[in-house]
Amino acid sequence: MNNAKIGFSVGCFHESANALEALSILRNSGCRVVELNSQILEHIGNEKYDQIIATNLAGFEYVSMHADVFEYGKPGTAEILKEIEHLNHIRQLDLVVFHPDIIFDFGVLANIDLKVGIENMDHNKKSFRSVEDIKDILDRFPKFGFVLDVNHILTNDPTLKSVSTFFDVLGGKIVQYHLSGYKTLHDPLFKTKQVEIIQAMQIKNLPIIVESLLAPEDIVRERNYILENL
């Protein structure tokens, strides 16, 4: 793999590997961009485990994290954020991604020393599916960035015509993409052949986190398919 800003969520391999195993798989495949999930926090604070995490993250040029889906601002918030901040001390996170639809108090995220990104939601959610919802929060909290999930837009708008509106209104706030095919949930693009999802990304120099559900042996095939169709 080359140094293109295309990487994978460790959750891509949840059926075959835990978070640490997924990191090893990705690193050995030459991947230098990765998104962690909350599974990595299970033993955070243990000195030995912290060193294992640091070792496994060595060599990655861009590391984001998808935070727990949680009602931030309610009891339990401080404990989750403390764990993420601890991980941030082990390896500075380039971004922490939050689902905004159930956040109780966005102010708690504005007051932490982390780079925060909020993600547009899919058709199963009641809010934050539209440009207007996302813009409202980004206007109120200009510190936040925007993670554009093309799969989620497709579930709301099968024509993908609304993608242009997201770029026109929020293009300057986009800091990362989430990308995957969509037939049932997060399908491999090399299987769905949905080139239109890949080509919907109008700004090409941003980190792309692939969320397709994959077998480890499909990493290179998925990445190459995306590169060939950007």
Per-residue pLDDT of the chain (230 residues; tens, 9 = 90+): 444 699 999 999 988 888 889 999 999 999 999 999 999 998 888 899 999 999 999 989 999 999 999 999 999 999 999 999 999 999 999 999 999 999 999 999 999 999 999 999 999 999 999 999 999 999 999 999 999 999 999 999 999 999 999 999 999 999 999 999 998 889 999 999 999 999 999 998 999 999 999 999 999 999 999 999 98
Domain membership flag for residue 193: yes
Domain membership flag for residue 87: yes
Question: How many Cα atoms sit within 13 Å of 64 on the Cβ side?
Answer: 30
pLDDT at 1: 44
Domain membership flag for residue 135: yes
Domain membership flag for residue 37: yes
pLDDT at 4: 62
pLDDT at 43: 82
Domain membership flag for residue 63: yes
- Cβ–Cβ < 8 Å for 93, 64: yes
CATH code where residue 152 lies = 3.20.20.150
Residue 37 to residue 127: CA distance in whole angstroms: 23
Question: How many Cα atoms sit within 13 Å of 1 on the Cβ side?
Answer: 24
Residues in contact with 32: Cβ distance below 8 Å, sequence separation at least 6, in sequence order = 1, 3, 7, 59, 60, 61, 62
pLDDT at 173: 97
Please give the residue range of the domain that contains residue 15: 6-229
pLDDT at 80: 96
How many domains is the chain built from? Answer: 1
Domain membership flag for residue 1: no
Domain membership flag for residue 79: yes
